[in-house]
Amino acid sequence: MDIDLVYLWVDGSDPAWQARKAAFLQGIAEAPHEATHEARFVDNDELRFSLRSVERYAPWIRHIYIITDRQVPSWLDTDCPRVTIVDHTEILPPSALPTFSSPAIEWCVDNIPGLADHFLLANDDTLIAQEVAPDFFFNTQGHPIVRLRRWPRHKLGRSLYLRTIGRAQQLIRQRLGTCVGHIPHHNIDAYLKRHIQECKQLFAREIEDTINRHIRGEEDVQRVATLYYALARGEGEMKLMGRYNKPMSLWSKLRCALRGVYHYDTRCINIEPDIDFQSVMDRYNPVLVCINDNEQAGDKDRLRARRFLEQMFPDKSSFER
């Protein structure tokens, strides 16, 4: 089974990109703050370390595609045969450009020329922290392993992002009659290319609107709809992520096991003042980790995050100049 890896990447400090974004936003009467805040576009060099983690812990990945907006990381060796830069213009329709919306881009990844039928989709701030095999992401039937976490349905309105999750769940229930009520684990996910293509047929109008929206909006269909679709069709295997950690009592561990909550897979660490990255890693021992930028983070916090990543992955990869 060939498995590729797709990243979304942007350098929000690039003056040319900033000018394109500013020019576009001038024509928008009221853009949601959550959709346009700089934390969504800051480049803290996470991609460099994410690629180092892939080379160390998942060398079986066949090819890596990095989706960008007329940008190339300065440190990337573009002559490396295992990596390809994919510009927005290559996969998105002209009507969708320029785009500053990750949901729009994600619904077009199946347009990448040569992309394997089985692939992983990642943001640049997600990393692999332990050795993994292909069966961590796809089961013996070739179906994606879908990692989700519990979330009360009444709390889906708390943010624009969560509202788009709720919309995806609603659409799946309407068309397929059932949908799990859990939300994404905010890390690297496994996909079948045909599932994306089938969703684009099933929800043609809704997804076309998402692709052409340019910035995130309330009516977006979030890519998790593809994973909900796989589960509803019986073509995905769900694993629930929990808050299990090594110091927990035996009873707590047993309760997690009885609830079907898998403790060891994934952890999202927000970049914020006073966070101790290594302490979180030691406590939860995740296989996948996301170093998540947000509105609470400052430049000093981002510098601490970078130093942590440098300690975690000090060795240059073959993807770098």
Please give the pLDDT value at position 246.
Answer: 62
Average pLDDT for 14-42: 71
Contact, 145 vs 241, CB < 8 A?
no
Q: Which amino acid is at 176?
A: L
3-state secondary structure of 175: helix
Cα distance between residue 231 and residue 107, in whole Å: 18
Model confidence over 193-228: pLDDT tens digits? 999 999 999 999 999 999 999 999 989 999 999 999
3-state secondary structure of 178: coil
Asked whether residue 252 carries a pLDDT value surpassing 90, the answer given is no
Burial class (CB in 10 A: 0-12, 13-18, 19+), 128: buried
Model confidence over 99-147: pLDDT tens digits? 999 999 999 999 999 999 999 999 999 999 999 999 999 999 999 999 9
241 phi, psi to nearest 5 deg = -90, 140
Asked whether residue 189 carries a pLDDT value surpassing 90, the answer given is yes
140 phi, psi to nearest 5 deg = -65, -20
Please give the pLDDT value at position 31.
Answer: 59
Please give the pLDDT value at position 157.
Answer: 82
Residue 24 has a CB neighbour count (10 Å cut-off) of 17
Please give the pLDDT value at position 196.
Answer: 98
Query: Which pair of tokens denotes residue 191?
Result: 């996909």
Cα distance between residue 90 and residue 72, in whole Å: 15
Residue 177 has a CB neighbour count (10 Å cut-off) of 8
Which residues fall within 8 angstroms of residue 301, CB to CB, at 6 or more apart?
271, 272, 273, 275
Please give the pLDDT value at position 293.
Answer: 83
Q: Which amino acid is at 219?
A: E
Average the pLDDT over each of 100-114, 147-161, 237-251 and give the range with the smallest value.
237-251
Q: Which amino acid is at 108?
A: C
More confident residue, 298 or 42: 298
Please give the pLDDT value at position 39.
Answer: 47
Domains parsed from the chain with CATH numbers: 3-312 (3.90.550.10)
Contact, 145 vs 136, CB < 8 A?
yes
User: Model's pTM, two decimal places?
Assistant: 0.91
Contact, 9 vs 66, CB < 8 A?
yes
Place 150 in a pLDDT band, splitting at 50, 70 and 90.
confident
Nearest-10 Cα torsion for 217, 221, 222, 227? 170
Please give the pLDDT value at position 214.
Answer: 92
Distances in whole angstroms, Cα of residue 192 to Cα of each of 3, 126, 224: 10, 20, 12
Rg (C-alpha) for the chain, rounded Å, is 19
Residue 80 has a CB neighbour count (10 Å cut-off) of 15
Taking the alpha carbons at both ends of the chain, their separation in whole angstroms is 29
